[in-house]
């Protein structure tokens, strides 16, 4: 059975993963465009030198761009929380809850950042269906756990263990 603390930690993992993915994507795009601007400024140098220089600048920009490494760090903190949550919760619930809520939070964060969605109605319906699926998983785990308790009570009542 999934208690409130476990459920909250799994939803928090989904939030960490889902919210950081669009932020990292945006940071990578900005870093790539700045590296391309740098590459176009060095047209008079040999193409191989420009390619190597652009590669090095891109990698260093990723390390120095807070819009890339901060969401990445938060994403990795979500992964640490995920491994901790796996130790105390059922795997059959942990994985779908984390992945489904990550998708939901990613969709919401993308919308907040102004990313274009081709079919927003379908995306909204998808988010609702995913949340309903997570609710069904959580509800069925509670029903299953209560059923196990009832079955154990019958076994003890009849003298069986």
DSSP labels for 113-147? TT---S-HHHHHHHHHHHHHHHHHHHHHHHHHHHH
As a dihedral over the C-alpha atoms of residue 134, residue 77, residue 18, residue 91, rounded to 10 degrees, the angle is -20
The tokens 């995920």 sit on which residue? 82
Residue 37 is predicted with a pLDDT of: 60
Residue 74 is predicted with a pLDDT of: 95
Asked whether the beta carbons of 12 and 81 are under 8 A apart, the reply is yes
Residue 82 is predicted with a pLDDT of: 94
Q: What is the length of the chain?
A: 161
Residue 35 is predicted with a pLDDT of: 55
Per DSSP, the three-state class of 108 is: helix
Nearest-CA neighbor of 111 among 99, 98, 127, 96? 127
Q: Is the pTM of this model over 0.75?
A: no
- Phi-psi region at 92: left, alpha or beta (left = phi > 0; alpha = psi -120 to 50): alpha
Residue 89 is predicted with a pLDDT of: 84
Residues 49, 68, 117, 103, CA torsion sign: positive
Segments making up each domain of the chain, as ranges:
4-157
User: What does the pLDDT profile of the chain (161 residues) look like in tens digits?
Assistant: 678 888 899 999 999 999 999 999 888 887 766 656 655 555 444 555 567 777 777 677 667 778 888 999 999 999 999 999 888 888 888 888 898 899 989 989 998 999 888 888 898 898 899 889 888 887 887 766 665 555 545 554 555 55
Q: Say how far apart CA 129 and CA 87 lie, in whole Å.
A: 28
DSSP result, 20-79: HHHHHHHHHHHHHHHHHHHHHHTTTS-HHHHHHHHHHHHHHHHHH-HHHHHHHHHHHHHH
């Amino acid at each position: 059975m999934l208690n409130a603390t476990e459920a909250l930690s799994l939803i928090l993992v989904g939030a960490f993963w889902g919210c950081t993915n669009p932020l990292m994507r945006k940071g990578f795009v900005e870093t790539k465009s700045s590296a391309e601007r740098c590459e176009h400024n060095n047209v008079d140098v040999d193409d191989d030198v420009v390619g190597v220089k652009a590669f090095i600048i891109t990698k260093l920009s990723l390390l120095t761009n807070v819009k890339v490494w901060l969401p990445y760090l938060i994403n990795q903190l979500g992964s640490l929380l995920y491994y901790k949550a796996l130790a105390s919760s059922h795997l059959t619930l942990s994985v779908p809850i984390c992945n489904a809520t990550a998708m939901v939070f990613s969709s919401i964060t993308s919308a907040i950042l102004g990313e274009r969605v081709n079919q927003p109605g379908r995306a909204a319906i998808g988010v609702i269906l995913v949340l309903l699926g997570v609710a069904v998983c959580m509800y069925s785990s509670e029903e299953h756990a209560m059923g196990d308790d009832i079955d154990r009570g019958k076994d003890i009542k009849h003298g069986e263990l």
